[in-house]
Structure formats: structure tokens, C-alpha cells
Structure 1
């Protein structure tokens, strides 16, 4: 046997490793290990310490042990009460396990003692000095190793022993410690330990940085907590609720009691949870709070109970508005059905008529008669879809659309909701607001109206929507299809006088501080006011003139000390100046080449005189008066009809080769278009060509074909009212419009004779003077 080889007992170690020169206490519990210690005591107290690869193996074999271990000497043994033995060992040398001899009571091993390879050169000294300095810095950073340990390290001169001792104090894993144990070259071992120490120092620096950050964060959190607790205590002393916590609880209670659908409630509570976690200074906190406030302020279940009394509703509507029978009838029908079913969806009405006829005030009266809240939203000039449907919450300054804002103002789920000036909407690159209204005004869809800001479905099915418009021409077809159209024509002279006497005069007298004892406007004064100072379909200008009279009367009462002012047709010019209009637009005499047409405009009906002049030429047809394409085509059609029937109409068949014809419609600055001037132009042309005068008392409206047929037109009621205002006695109209005569007030029918015609021959028979009917 080689002198460096020995046979000694084996002591397997679990989770621990002993370096040479290292003194350590070991607790031994396995029977074979205790016998190994006892056998070692019989022969020089030497024992081989080998570390197990797997700590869970109870009876290790040669494969379970690292082959490089430590030859140690047992310095002391002590039996403990629990049966284990505490042994003090001192590492002597590195050794390699050559062979394992397993017996029944003990395991012996053949080992070969290994010696360190030391060079004792300058590089080795430099590595020792570097290691010592790094170890000193490590001790300062870690604060887990005492200064006395460093004092013992400084005095060591052997490089291998220095490396082993420092490695024993480093927090290395068993595998890393085993790697150090297996290195025999002192220089390489020193480098390995230097690398370990530097890695540990970096880790300790990172731990220190993290620890400082955490400490600062904890200090800040503790400070905030302390300040919040102080604030709570102060608020409690002052009797206030406990800051944000109290606010969140209050909001949670409101959400639970709001009556909103469960899906919406879940969203609101989720947003409230986010709001609670965010600091008050956060911008998002304000956005979420604003959103929750909107959800809470919207009505979800609050509703007014409809006053289902048809008689009472009729009284209110009649009291507030004179005439307008169709609208009143429709509202009363809705009430009657509601009284029977109590489940009818809110109707969607569209009141169409000229300005000043009372569309908006009528909607307010409907709300009063139903006992519902009233809300009005003006759509005039709206050209952005988000004005109707709202902005997404991701945008700065986002707001719900006008529909949701209106519902917030209404405070109930079943108001009368007025969409004013629906025909004045426009569109641009930001979308089409009229398309956004399709969902609002569709009874099948508005149960789940979606606003971009609210995002959750909102029920509009119980709302009674009323839209107003001056004309249907600018309302898109799909939107028009969803509404029930009710036309409100202008008022007759008799209706205007009635409205002025019962509504406008009392209202203006009250606003101007005048009682019945101070101002009186007699019936003849009202008639003069309507005839000579206003010319409109509605009563807005009439109200302004009444206000003017009230102001003048107030000044007279104050400055001239009169007790009462009386306004009559004789002195009305003192208050309003010279007459603005001549009552009746009818011509003073029957004239050749002049026919009176009836036109329909967005502000009601109007008379439209058409003049024809002939002079020598080559058959050129000149049209003036800012006419649209349709009116120009009507003139061409009339001209062609006359040429085709010239001989039958007693007109020179060659008239178009000898004369130029000029057709003019006065008020050239006002654009005019439409097909209903066809028979008027033909009559004026035939009058000019035959020399027969057109009756001054006749007005006419109707479209003409090349065969002379008269086709139906629209707006007969408005045109009839303009004929009545103009003082005409006869109105020629298409036979197919006879059904519209039911809409014309009796006061107009009493003064005007309506003549239904199917062909131009019938028109001429009634319009031209001297032609037999």
C-alpha cells in the first residue's frame, strides 16, 4: 500500500461539507455512522468525511458519494439523550475515495491523501491579497461575519488554507463547495473563491438597493396611512363622513338603490372598485367618478303616472291652442288607447309646418295634458354624430349625447321629449347625426339605445318623442319612415284674430304690466292688425306687433297720464305706423297675360303672379324670375301644348315664328321651383296669345302634361289659406286633390269656390273672361 493510502471508517455527510483545517461539530444519528466513529476511536481517531449527492439516501453506496472528501480527526465525542452522538472533527487533508469495503456493522474505505499544489510565486501572493481585500469588503457589506473571523484570515500565509477557510464562510451551495474541495491547484482555487465573492458582493449590493427602495416605499405608505388616519380623525371630530371611504360606500349604496338593470349595475360596481383603488390625484379617477355620476343621475325606474283623462286633456289642449284639430285628435287617441291597455309604446310624432304655428308650444301642452315631464332638445345645426350618440370615454372632455342629456334633465323614463328643428340637421366628415337618430326613433330598437359614453343599453321605449320640422324635403327617407307625420298648415285670418284676442294680447299685456283697465285692443283693431301689418302662416310676427302696441301704450300711460288706451282700426297707425301690406293680393282689374298662381313655401302658402309678354321675334322663349329647373320645364310643356293645339285655341299656328315670348315671375331674388305652376303658365300664355283677360278673382294650382291633363299637387291647404288672405274668390285645383278639401277650414270654404279640373280646357273655361264654362 502506498504511504499516502489509508483504510479508515467512512462517515457520509448530508447537506454539509468539511474543508481541511476546519473544526466543526457534527450530530450523527445513523447506526453505521455511530459505529464508524467508535471504530475510529480504536485507531488514531481518523475518519473519512464524504458528502452525499442526494440527502434523501439513507444507506449510501459509492455511487451516492462524491469521490473527493476530507480526512478528519475526531477531537471529541459526546452521546446525547436522544441517542445521537455529537462529534467534534478537525479536517486534515483532502482525500480521494478509492474503494468502499462494506461490512455488517461498519463501512471502511480505501482513500488516497491528496496534497495542494502551491507555487509560492508573485501571482499567488497577488491572488491571496486580492482575496483578502475582497473578503474584507464582503464582511462590511454582508454584516453576517464577525471582524474576529477576518483577523484570523489575515494571519494565514498558506494559499490553499486561506481559500478553504474563506470558502467555509461563504453562503455557497453544496455543489459549489464540493467544486472548491476538488481543486488541488491553489491558484485556481483562489480565483474560484474571488469569483464567488465578487458575485456575492453584487447580489448583496442589489439586495441593499432593493431593500432601500422597499424601505422608502414603506415609509411613504406608512406616512400616507398616518396622514389618512389623521384626516379621518379630524373629519370624524368635525362630523364629516370619512373621506373617500365614506364617499365610496355612499356611491355603492346609491348604485344598489338606483334600479338600473343588473348588467349595468355590475359595470357601475366594477368601475367603483377601480375608483376606490386609484389615488384622488389620478386623472382617470376623475373620469371614472364622472361616469358613475352620469349612471346615477339617469332615471332608470322613476316615472310619472299618466293622467289618463281624455276630457281633461282635451280641455287643456283647447285652452292652450286654437285649431290644430288633427294633432289634438291624435294625442287624444293615444290617451284613450293608453287608458285601455296601459302598455302602449310611446308614439313618435313629427309636427310639420311653417314657423310660428305653435309646434313647440303644442308639444309642451301635450306634456301638461298627460301629466308628464317635458324636455326639449334643439337639433338645428347639429352636424356631428357624437352630438346625438355621445363621445367615447377615451376622449378628453367626453360627454353623453343630447338624448341621454335630455333624459337626465327629464328625471323620468317617460317624458315628452321634443326633438326641435329635426329638418335643420346637417352632416360632415364627423358622421351623419340623422343616421344616429334612426335608433332613437325606431320603436323596435329604442328599448336598447346605445350611447357611446354610457355604453350600456338604455330604454327609451316609454318616451313620447315629438319632432318638429318646417319642411319634409330635407329629412332623410329612413328617418321619415319612423315617424308619424302630422301637417300643421298656417292659420286663417279668423283663427289669427281668435288667437290674438284669447292668447297673445293677454300674454303681452301681462308681460308689460298692463291690465284690462289700462289697454284695450278692439276687434276691428285686431282685424286691421292681422290684415295690414302681418303676412305669415304663423303668429310670431303678430305677437311682435302686439308687443309693440303694448310698449307704445305703456309709454303713453306713463308720460301723458292717461287712464286707458284704446286701439281701433282708426288709430292703429299711431302705434304701428303706415300699413305694411295691402289686404288682398288680387289684381284690381282683369288683365291679359297675367295669371295668379298659388305656391307652397316652407313658411306657408303664397300667391305667385305670372306675367307673359309678346313682342316681334323668332319664337324665342325667355324665362326670368330665378326659376328652378322644374318650373322651366313646366313653361316648356305649356308652350309645347299651346303649339300643338293652336288652331283649337283660336291662336295663329305661326305665332312662334313671329313673336318672342317672355314669361316672368316677379320677386326675382326669391328662388322658385315646383311643378304646380304648370296650368298657371299655360293660362297666362294663352291669355297673352288670344288677347282674352284672366279673371282677377281666380287663383290656380296644378301640374300640366303635354296632352293638357292636370295632375295633383301638394300643400292645397296652405295654398288655399294664401288665396283667402289675398282676397281671391275662386281657386282652380286638380280634381285628384278633392280629398284634401276636408282639411281646409270652413271659414275659407265660405269665401272661396273650389273648382276641381282634369284638363286645361276646363281651366280656361273658368279662368278666362268671356269664355263659356
Structure 2
């Protein structure tokens, strides 16, 4: 048969398959045209043309969808299967190239030209054949896809072309690569190409083996861990821990990873988690470790709120919530202004000192609202144990972090406003000194590495705005006071109380008692009567209680149907809540002999202090009553000694000591009294009693006296001035050196009071005493 002779055969397109010459293969045929082509081949000489499709998913391939070179095959057998497909046994005969495809009614017919093998150098082909078999032998050893029997069968083939085709048919390569081999007519080139493919396949297999070994080792380790975990579960079940801890461990680990802890803290948490995993659930230490990990997880490490540094906005909120308190407001606005410029200032540590009811705690809340921070309050009143601040060590049963860390947990941010309430009421005993533990909390240079005994890791408090409150500075240790910026909050004047009542207290109490502004109204004179006659305080807490009392009475009147609207006037106040509790102020109704009005600074703010002296026949005994402290007793002794030394100048009988007993009394004897400011008041009362000259009822005084009659400066002038104003006094004698403190006193008080600075007791007596000696006394 000539090489260029054209032959005609039915066409059978193959999907995902390729048949080489001399290759025997079973095919399943289901497409209608393919079945018709087979039937036509069986009718004629059993020959058919097999050509691979370029795309396997195409059901109706056209000329361009088929390769141009295929294999002429002999159909040995065709069997129809129950599912309608035909199973065919074919044997490849020759390579052939398609010249023309004709579409018949039911199948395709192709005109093809056979392709003969090209063999040039038999020696080189022999060498390539040996190389091919060596490579294939190595491939068979590492591959599980080709058996040794297959290799033995192929080794018996002598024809290089036939051998090349048969080896290619057993390689796990793509149809495209098999088609390339089919299209190579030169035997030498075909052998080389197959040798290259086998080499590549061997390398791939070796890599797969390495990967497989690694996977196997990993699986073995995983299986070992799984086995050990199952053993641990069984042990835990025996110990009573039926559920095991695997889910709990995974949950805790996820929480640790999501907590944004510093790296050192996260390492500690993971280490403790590994310990927790190994310890049985029933162990006492298990709950300790679990508790510790949960505390580390819930603490804020990086979460913070964004500060609102708008100064006018903050000023508006502070003014809304509080009337007056200008110094505190200015300090907060200064803090915001500086932070707006620097973005790096550490949180200041403010200490608001003042009597109860002046708004220290509520001011801290307003600060938090003004700068958009979380607010946390911790009460330190009565705290005696250092562990309350620093926490307990985890070795103790029931160990917990201290109040600082607990407060940070509640805040959920690293930059809250943290109120340390009643810091002056901490105490110390054998359990430690909590005020010393507070030194680290309140030191801006140290609190970035605050150490709690329970947490044991450094915690950064430098972003916290600490605000402490205290009623008095006298009980706060010096080193602790040194770390805070003290802002004094004195009591309110009557005018300020009136404003606070109208702008804040009335609306709050009317709402809390279920009333409306239209149902109950307060006249200014009624509020002023509540302030003067029903309360005596520096703050407004008692005033709020009295307003609430009036609102309850009004609610009762409205509910009972007596009235639909209650207007509270000055006259009506007494009818609603009873008789006044206090006299208006403490000023005497008339000038008194032997009685002087002093001014005192107490925990409740400023107050007036009446000092009485009584002269009676006796043997020179000096009696002091009124529950006086050591300082006031010494002031009385100093005043007494000074008057004895100046008896002639004061027109006092020098022998009055031998003839008389002297009794100095400060009323309200149940109330403890002490402080270095009553010296000139006692001296004035003594001189008045000994000379018979009356003390002006309009004069109040404060100042300490020396044995030479000098008047020494005092503290708390603002509070004392407010008490004088409340008491209805018109003149206040003050030490000359306290002149500088007058700028702190409200203008409304200065308008009603005349301040007289003095350096010596003679000046005090000149202002305070009236008239000449009363001989009848």
C-alpha cells in the first residue's frame, strides 16, 4: 500500500482517551453518532478512525474540535450494555492524518492518510531504547500505578516504535502530551520525548514521596496526640470530670488571642493555660488558674475611648451640672487645652477637698461626661487592708485583684475617669497601710508599671484621669498628698445655694416625687427660708432633703384632692414641714458681756463658735469645758496669761486671779472642737467678762494669739467667711497675714461683710468691745 494513499473510515471521537498503534483498549460508547460509526465499521472491514477531542466536555464536536492525527483501529468486539451504551474492544493499527471529514446522515466519515514511522539511526535508537527501559524500570519502582508484570511484558518488545507507544500508554500524563507523542513520526524523537517525560514523572513522584513521608509523620504525631487526649478524657471521666476541658481550653485560647495583651502578658497567659490543661478539673489549683486567666482576658490592655477635647463643649457640660466651683472647672479646661496641644500629657491626679454635700463626687462624673470617658468610682472609706489596693497573692484561698484592677475591669478602657472617693478615710493596722499602697497608683512617674499582687504583671495606669475626694487634708499622709493636686471646694453662699436649688435640685425632686412644674412651684423666699432656718451645712445635701420633704407634702395635698396646684411660700413652709430647726445664723440678738463669736473651720465647712466666759468668786481656778482639744486648751491658757500680764493697761484688777474663779465654756459640749484659730476669741471674751464691756454682736473673729499679743494667721478663711455671712454678722476680724486670702471669697459675701485685718490683740479689742467698764459687774 502506497504511503500517500487516501483511505476512508467511520469516525469515532474520543473524550479523555487516546489509542496508540498496537494498543488494545476497552471503550464505552454512548453518543448516537459514535454508535452508528461503530455499526458501520462492523458492517465493512471492522476498521474505524479514532481521534481525540481537544475539549472533553463537548458532545457534538466539529472538525476544529478534533486533533488532525489519530489512530486507525480494528474493532475486535462490540457488546451492548443494559444501560444503552456499547462496550467496544479495539486495537490500534496505524497512525493516520485526517485529510477530510464528511458528515453522513448518522455519523462522520473521514478520509485519512497513513503515517509511517521514520527510522534513521538504528544504533542510536537502540541506545535510546535501553535508556528508556532503565528509566521506566526506576519509574516502576517508585510508582504504584505500573506493576512489575507490566514492565516485564514491555521488556520483551524489540521494536523501538512499538515499545515507545506502549510505554507512553502506561504513563499517567495528560491527553495533550499523549497526543504530542502520537504525532511524532520519527522514532528517535519519540523515544527522547518519552525519556524526558519519565524523568519528570520520577522527580514528581520523589517529591510526592517526601511530602507523603512528612504527612505520615505529622499524622502519626496527630494520632499520638489524639490518643493521649482520649486517654486524658478517660482519666478525667474517672475523676469525675465528665465533660473534659478541651472545649473550654479552646475557648480560653481564643479569648487570649483576641484580648490584645502585651506580648509578655500573652506568653504568661498561654503558659498558665497549658498548666490548666494538664491539671484535673477537681484540683483546687485548677480553679485558681482559671480565675487568673479570666482576669487577664477581661482586663482592658489597649481599648480606649477617644477624648472630646473641645474646651467650649466641656465648659458647657460642667456649667450645666454645677453652679460655681470655678477653680475646679478652670483646672479641667486647662487639662483639656494642654492635651489638645501636646497629645501626650499624662493624666493629672486631682484631689477635691471640701465638706460633705458640695458636689465632689458628682463633679467627677461631670468631668467624665465632658471629656467622653468612662467613669469608675471606688470608695476607700474604712479600707484598712493593703490587699484592697494591691490585691491578694494567688497562693491565698479566695485571692482577688485589688480595687484598682477591679475598677479597670469595670471601665473596660485604659483611660477612664477613676474616682477614689473618701481617700482621707483610709486607715492602717496590722494588715498593712493602704495609703502607702496608693503611692504607686497616684505617682505619674510610677503608675505606668503598676503591679497588682494577683495579676503579677505590670499594668499601665498612666492614661487614667484620677480624681480623689476628701473632707479634710489633715488625715491624708504627707507623701500621698504630695502626689496629688489639691483643689479646695469651700461651702456655698446662700445666693449660690438658691441658684443650685432652682437650677438643679427642684427639677430633680419634683420629678422623683411624681410631680410636674405646673403642680408645685417654689417661691424664692421659701427656698431662702429652707436654706436659713432648716439647714446648717456647707453643701446642699440637707437642702435637697428638705426640698424633697416639701415635695412629698405637696404630693399628698394634690392626691387627696385638696388642691390641684401648690405654690410654696415662706409662710407655707412651716405649715408643711414643721417648725424651723435652726435660728437664722448664730449672731447674738444683742451685745453680750463675756460672750464672743468665733469662726471655725470644721469637716462640714465653716461654722460660728460662741465662746462664753463666766467670772465667779473663788480662788483663781481656770475651768475649761465644751469638749475642747489640746490646741484650744493651750489657746485659752495663752490668752489668760496675756491678760494677766496686761491687766493694768486693760483696766483690770491685777488681783482678780486671787479673788475669782474663771470658767471658759464653748457650747454644744458633745461636739469635739480643736484647731489653732480661737485664741483672739477667747481673749476677747475674757477681757469682756473681766472689764464688763460688751462684745459687739455684729463682730465675728478668727486668729491665734501669742503670749505677746500678736495675732497669727489661720486657714480656711473662705469657709469661715461663709459661716459669718450665714450667721448675719457684718464685721469679721482676721489676721493681717490672711489679707491675701480675701480674693478667694465670693463678691456677694464681700459686699455684705467688712473684713478688718489686725496684727495685735489691742486692735481686736478696740473693734470688738463696746463702751466703758461696767462698774456694777
Asked if TM exceeds 0.5, the reply is yes
**CA–CA separation in structure 2 for the residues paired with 1:281 and 1:292:** 17
**CA–CA separation in structure 1 for the residues paired with 2:535 and 2:369:** 31
Which residue in the other structure is 1:429 paired with? Answer: 430
Which residue in the other structure is 2:572 paired with? Answer: 571
SS in 1 for 2:770: coil
SS in 1 for 2:677: helix
Which residue in the other structure is 1:364 paired with? Answer: 365
Which residue in the other structure is 2:124 paired with? Answer: none
CA pair 270-652 structure 1, distance change in 2 beyond 3 A: same
**CA–CA separation in structure 2 for the residues paired with 1:352 and 1:607:** 21
Which residue in the other structure is 1:640 paired with? Answer: 641
Which residue in the other structure is 1:476 paired with? Answer: 477
CA pair 595-291 structure 1, distance change in 2 beyond 3 A: same
Query: Structure 1 stretch 256-265 or stretch 405-414: which is displaced more?
Result: 256-265
Shift of 1:657: 1.9
Which residue in the other structure is 1:168 paired with? Answer: none
Shift of 1:349: 0.6
Establish whether residue 490 from structure 1 lines up as the match of residue 491 from structure 2.
yes
Establish whether residue 512 from structure 1 lines up as the match of residue 527 from structure 2.
no
Establish whether residue 455 from structure 1 lines up as the match of residue 448 from structure 2.
no
**CA–CA separation in structure 2 for the residues paired with 1:546 and 1:463:** 37
Which residue in the other structure is 2:707 paired with? Answer: 706
Which residue in the other structure is 2:4 paired with? Answer: none
CA pair 257-630 structure 1, distance change in 2 beyond 3 A: same
Shift of 1:221: 8.5
Which residue in the other structure is 2:383 paired with? Answer: 382
Shift of 1:281: 2.9
Is the 8 Å Cα contact of residues 764 and 771 (structure 1) preserved in structure 2?
no
**CA–CA separation in structure 1 for the residues paired with 2:236 and 2:399:** 32
**CA–CA separation in structure 2 for the residues paired with 1:523 and 1:691:** 43
**CA–CA separation in structure 1 for the residues paired with 2:689 and 2:230:** 102
Which residue in the other structure is 1:212 paired with? Answer: none
Shift of 1:245: 2.9
Which residue in the other structure is 1:409 paired with? Answer: 410
CA pair 654-443 structure 1, distance change in 2 beyond 3 A: same
Q: TM-score, with normalisation over the residues of structure 2?
A: 0.68
**CA–CA separation in structure 1 for the residues paired with 2:230 and 2:756:** 95
Which residue in the other structure is 1:317 paired with? Answer: 318
> 1:114-133, aligned counterparts within 5 Å?
none
**CA–CA separation in structure 2 for the residues paired with 1:415 and 1:397:** 28
Query: Structure 1 stretch 405-414 or stretch 562-571: which is displaced more?
Result: 562-571
Which residue in the other structure is 1:534 paired with? Answer: 535
Shift of 1:629: 1.2
**CA–CA separation in structure 1 for the residues paired with 2:400 and 2:772:** 70
Establish whether residue 618 from structure 1 lines up as the match of residue 619 from structure 2.
yes
**CA–CA separation in structure 2 for the residues paired with 1:722 and 1:324:** 18
**CA–CA separation in structure 1 for the residues paired with 2:422 and 2:585:** 32
Spell out, residue by residue over 1:234-291, the C-alpha distance to the aligned partner (whole angstroms, 9 max, x if none): x9xxxxxx97334323322332332222211111110111112223333222211111
**CA–CA separation in structure 1 for the residues paired with 2:412 and 2:623:** 62
CA pair 227-689 structure 1, distance change in 2 beyond 3 A: closer
SS in 2 for 1:662: strand
SS in 2 for 1:280: coil
Q: Which runs of 5+ in 1 are unaligned?
A: 1-217, 230-234, 236-241
**CA–CA separation in structure 2 for the residues paired with 1:262 and 1:303:** 18
Is the 8 Å Cα contact of residues 618 and 659 (structure 1) preserved in structure 2?
yes
Spell out, residue by residue over 1:37-62, the C-alpha distance to the aligned partner (whole angstroms, 9 max, x if none): xxxxxxxxxxxxxxxxxxxxxxxxxx
Which residue in the other structure is 1:118 paired with? Answer: none
Which residue in the other structure is 1:22 paired with? Answer: none
> 1:16-31, aligned counterparts within 5 Å?
none
> 1:724-763, aligned counterparts within 5 Å?
724-763=725-764
SS in 2 for 1:571: helix
**CA–CA separation in structure 2 for the residues paired with 1:698 and 1:291:** 65
CA pair 594-370 structure 1, distance change in 2 beyond 3 A: same
CA pair 485-227 structure 1, distance change in 2 beyond 3 A: closer
Shift of 1:382: 0.7
Shift of 1:607: 0.7
Is the 8 Å Cα contact of residues 765 and 771 (structure 1) preserved in structure 2?
no
Is the 8 Å Cα contact of residues 704 and 711 (structure 2) preserved in structure 1?
yes
Q: TM-score, with normalisation over the residues of structure 1?
A: 0.68
Shift of 1:560: 2.0
Establish whether residue 667 from structure 1 lines up as the match of residue 668 from structure 2.
yes
CA pair 591-287 structure 1, distance change in 2 beyond 3 A: same
SS in 2 for 1:381: coil
Let me know the Cα RMSD of the aligned residues: 2.0
Once superposed, which parts of structure 1, at least 4 consecutive aligned residues long, lie more than 4 Å away? Answer: 218-229
Shift of 1:357: 0.6
Spell out, residue by residue over 1:116-152, the C-alpha distance to the aligned partner (whole angstroms, 9 max, x if none): xxxxxxxxxxxxxxxxxxxxxxxxxxxxxxxxxxxxx
> 1:285-364, aligned counterparts within 5 Å?
285-364=286-365
Shift of 1:731: 0.3
Is the 8 Å Cα contact of residues 233 and 244 (structure 2) preserved in structure 1?
no
Which residue in the other structure is 1:258 paired with? Answer: 259
